[in-house]
Each structure stands twice: as C-alpha cells, then as structure tokens.
Amino acid sequence: MDVTASSLSPRRKTRQIAVGKVLVGGDAPISVQSMTTTKTADVEGTLAQIYALAAEGADIVRCTCNEVAAAEGLAQIVPRSPVPIVADIHFHVEMALAALEAGVQGLRLNPGNLRKPEEIKLVASEARDRGVPIRIGVNAGSLHPDIYERFGGATPEALVESARIELAYFEEVGFSDVKISVKASSVATMIAAYRLASETFDHPLHLGVTEAGPLPGGLLKGTAGIATLLAEGIGDTFRYSLTADPVEEARAGRQLLEALGLRERKGLDLIACPSCGRAEVDVIKVANEAQTALAALNLPIQVAVMGCVVNGPGEARHADLGIAAGKKRGHLFIKGEIVRVVKEEDMVEALVEEAKKIAAEGVEARLAARDLGAAAEAEADRALLLDSRGADANHSNERIAQIRRRTEQ
C-alpha cells in the first residue's frame, strides 16, 4: 500500500468468504472480477478468454450457465482455469445445481429471476454442503415486481430489500457464505444503494454499475460509482460492466486499484502533462509512443512524459523515470534527478532502455551511473527557455510590486 490508500476512509469490516483460493471481505485485498462473453460450451474459447482476463488482473471470472451444454463445459473449464470460476444463474434452478456438480467455486443468483423460495433454499442447501459461496446479485433492471411496486421503482431501498429477503431464505437453511451486490445503471442510485447495504449487512459487497455501456462512457460511469465507494471504505470486490472486450474490464479494474493505492502496481503507470504553450514537442504523440513501447515490457514502473524542461522534472519527481522535452532535446530523469540529456528523436528509446536498466539494477544504481554533466547541461537548457519565453510571462512580479506599493501607502 502507498500513501494514497492511507488517505482513503478506513475499510468497512465485513465477514470473509473464500471463492476458491481467493478470499473476499475482511482484510483480504479488494479483488477484480470480469465475465466471459464466449459460449461456455466452447471450452477452449472460454478458457482462452479466462487466461486473457487473468493476465490483465482478473482475480475471479464469471461464466454463464444457461444450458446443459454450458454446465458440461464448466466441468472441463474449472479444473483448467487459472482463477476461480463463478457460474451465472438466472432463471433455472437446474442450472445452479448442475453448475455445482461441475465444481464451480461460486454461484451468482439474481433474486429477480429465480423467485421460488423452495428453489432458492434448495440451491443454498446444496452450496452449503459443498462449501461454495453465493452472490446475491440484485439488479435494478430485474427487481421482483412486488418489490418494484411496493417501493415505487428501483430505489436504493428496493434493491437492499430484495437482497435482505434472499438472505433470509439462505439463513433458514443455515447458509451464510454470501456476498451481496445491489447494482444499478444509474451511478447515483448505485452509490446510494451500496451505502445503504453497507449499513444493513455485514457480508462482503460486490460493487458495480450495471450496463454501464461502451467505452469511454461506460468506463467513466463505472469509475464514478466504484471509486467513490472504495474511497469511502465500501466494497470488497467489483466488476466494470462494459460493452467491450472483457479484457478491458479486468485491465480497468486493476488500474483503478493501483491508482487508489489499494493493490501493488504490477504494470506500467504512465503519467504525462496535458501540454501547454511551453511544450517543445508533441506531448500526446510522445506519450502514446512511450505507452506502447513501455507497456510491452510489463514492468511495475511509473514513467512520466513532460512537455517542457521548466517544471517537468520537479512536478514528476515522484516518478521512477521520466523525460522532459527541451529544444530538440530531452532531459532524462530518475526520481526527479537529471541523469542524461538525449536527442529529441531518441527520447522514447532512451526511456525504454533506462526502464530495463532500472528493472535489472535498481533506482539507486542507475542514479549512481548518471552522466555527471547532465544536470548542468539541463539547467542551461532550462535557463535558455526561461529567457526566451520569459520567466514571468504573467508579469506576476510586477503585479506583486504594485500591490506592495499600494498597501504601503
């Protein structure tokens, strides 16, 4: 964890459950989930997607189980999967029982679709006997009609009530290995529902903005809801529900946790200035080229691309590595210290080369190997730029002097 995580609200204490080898709730790391889009009966195709999701940061993957062929596929998929598999069940109790026979490590039941109490309790009993947890997956778009009518719509209170009723059925058969979700496509409704759920239940919560849509809007909506709650200490696991390749969901989930300081960085974190009139290069172009080249290295490193040498190294001094562009040259810096000056056309190549060396040798060793004349050379470039552009372009010094003259009168 880093200082970012310590600035968030304390994590809400919940019960802990185990989805296969992945712990959810309690003090376990917040986990990332996604769902396959393949036909589950297509065993090889589904496994290929599961491995792709795991590679991008998914800790748990859900597969639909809507027919006998899907259940049979799960029986072959589960033992070969790198992550725990949760079966997604909607209308048919037989499919829930078949998925349990297939060996899945979790079930997701939608209370709005599987409605008969005796069937719900049957599944809970079977899951209890196998030690398989269930997610009560409430969705604003599929609430039981009676609850919808009683609350006048898919309100936060209606969503939580749906989960409460389902949980009561589980408790009747002595089953409590449960996590809960109360998803809505409205970000505001979703946030309010989870806040209420966190006050109502001590079970772990699975966060998500359902049906968020395609990129980039879906990513924005998902982040608005999920990040808000995580910052408040609410949530134990989550999924981005995007109309996109599910790999995007896993990647976004992992990046969100890293950005919040809730999981250790495993891949590249590239930061870049938004550019301005001082920029001496096309910052967007350089940043995109650096992102592509460095992402391929798959190193847990933070890299900065800054458009000018005036403030660049100082503003990005926390980065492991960075480049600040001057006139036809780039100032390569490590932890804010200039280590080398390179030609403009060599900036991205220099970043890649130095990133590899940092991974192999460490930051301190690379600082010790810096070009001793680089700092003076960079300072000369900076002074030249300030002289040509004006160190006080907004005439702030003149304004301050005028303020002092006025106030001293």
Element (H, E) at 109: strand 106-109
**pLDDT score, position 135:** 98
Residues forming beta bridges with residue 324, ordered by sequence position: 306, 331
State which fold the 269-389 domain adopts.
Sulfite Reductase Hemoprotein; domain 1 (3.30.413)
Does the structure show a pLDDT above 70 at 6?
no
Does the structure show a pLDDT above 80 at 100?
yes
- Written as one string, the DSSP assignment of 191-246 is HHHHHHHHHH--S-BEE-BTT-BSTTHHHHHHHHHHHHHHHTT--SEEE--BSS-H
What secondary structure letter does DSSP report for 176?
-
Q: Which CATH architecture has domain 3-259?
A: Alpha-Beta Barrel (3.20)
Terminal Cα distance for the chain, rounded: 54
Read off the pLDDT band of 315 (50, 70, 90).
Answer: confident
Q: How far apart are the C-alpha atoms of 358 and 384, rounded to whole Å?
A: 31
The string of pLDDT tens digits covering residues 71-81 is 999 999 999 99
| C-alpha distance from residue 315 to each of 182, 226, 303, 312, 333 (Å) | 41, 28, 12, 5, 12
Q: How far apart are the C-alpha atoms of 123 and 136, rounded to whole Å?
A: 12
Tokens of 400: 């301050």
What secondary structure letter does DSSP report for 249?
H
| C-alpha distance from residue 118 to each of 124, 155, 175, 272 (Å) | 10, 27, 14, 57
Mean pLDDT, rounded, of the chain? 92
Contact between 120 and 53 under an 8 Å Cβ cutoff? The reply is no
**pLDDT score, position 311:** 67
Does the structure show a pLDDT above 70 at 409?
no
Contact between 135 and 179 under an 8 Å Cβ cutoff? The reply is yes
Q: How far apart are the C-alpha atoms of 63 and 246, rounded to whole Å?
A: 12
**pLDDT score, position 4:** 57
Amino acid letter, 103: G
Amino acid letter, 81: S
Torsion of CA 74, 79, 83, 87, to 10 degrees: 20
Q: Is 271 or 130 the better-scoring residue by pLDDT?
A: 130
Read off the pLDDT band of 176 (50, 70, 90).
Answer: very high
**pLDDT score, position 393:** 45
Q: Which residues contact 212 (CB under 8 A, 6 or more apart)?
A: 185, 218, 219, 221, 222, 240, 241, 242, 243
Does the structure show a pLDDT above 50 at 121?
yes
203 phi/psi in degrees, rounded to 5? -80, 155
Does the structure show a pLDDT above 90 at 260?
yes
The string of pLDDT tens digits covering residues 86-95 is 999 988 999 9
Q: Which residues contact 225 (CB under 8 A, 6 or more apart)?
A: 187, 190, 191, 207, 208, 209
**pLDDT score, position 298:** 86
Does the structure show a pLDDT above 80 at 348?
yes
Read off the pLDDT band of 397 (50, 70, 90).
Answer: low
Domain boundaries, the chain: 3-259, 269-389
Do domains 3-259 and 269-389 share one topology? The answer is no
